[in-house]
Amino acid sequence: MTPPQSLITGHRGASSVAPENTLSAFRTAWEIGCDAVEGDFRLTRDGIIVCIHDANTQRTTGIDKEISEVSFSSLQKLDFGAWKDARFAGEACPTIDEVLATVPPHRHIFIELKTGPEIIQPLKTSLHKSS
């Protein structure tokens, strides 16, 4: 009997080790041998695709901001790492392009969309650029 095809997937990157949905989490997932990663993606007010699970930054930054209501530049001023551990202080909320750049050859990314259909065209553009 042939075993089923399986992929070891880092949920939000290696989120047990590094702050979820950050470049540190994705890089760590690849380093420990994951076949794939899963990330959550939303649009900022100015249409930039960023990797964050929650619609609000409160849980991961301690600051109450709605992703859809803030510009990318203001989002970049927040610290998305210190809540997990002091060694991750200063970790930024990555863009889709930054996350895609971490994916090694022959590995996979599962892109979970957290917004409506308005994300599809910019996402296709980013995927095309990264291939």
Query: What proportion of the chain, given as a percentage, has pLDDT over 70?
Result: 98
pTM above 0.75, yes or no: yes
11 is catalytic: yes
Q: 49 near 96, Cβ under 8 Å?
A: yes
Which domain covers residue 80, as residue numbers? 9-130
Residue 124 in tokens: 């296709």
Residue 65, pLDDT score: 98
Whether residue 88 lies inside any domain: the answer is yes
Whether residue 93 lies inside any domain: the answer is yes
Residue 4: pLDDT band with limits 50, 70, 90: confident
Does the pLDDT at position 131 exceed 90?
no
Number of domains, the chain: 1
Does the pLDDT at position 1 exceed 70?
no
Residue 27, CB half-sphere, CA atoms under 13 Å: how many?
9
23-54 per-position pLDDT tens digit: 999 999 999 999 999 999 999 999 999 999 99
53 is catalytic: yes
Average pLDDT, the chain: 97
Of 53, 106, 108, 128, which residue is the catalytic one? 53
Residue 2: pLDDT band with limits 50, 70, 90: low
Can you say whether the dihedral through the CA atoms of 77, 51, 54, 69 is positive or negative?
positive
Residue 123, pLDDT score: 98
Q: How far is CA 48 from CA 41, 44, 84, 95, in A?
A: 10, 5, 25, 7
Does the pLDDT at position 3 exceed 80?
no
Whether residue 41 lies inside any domain: the answer is yes
Of 11, 106, 108, 128, which residue is the catalytic one? 11
Q: What is the CATH number of the domain that holds 40?
A: 3.20.20.190
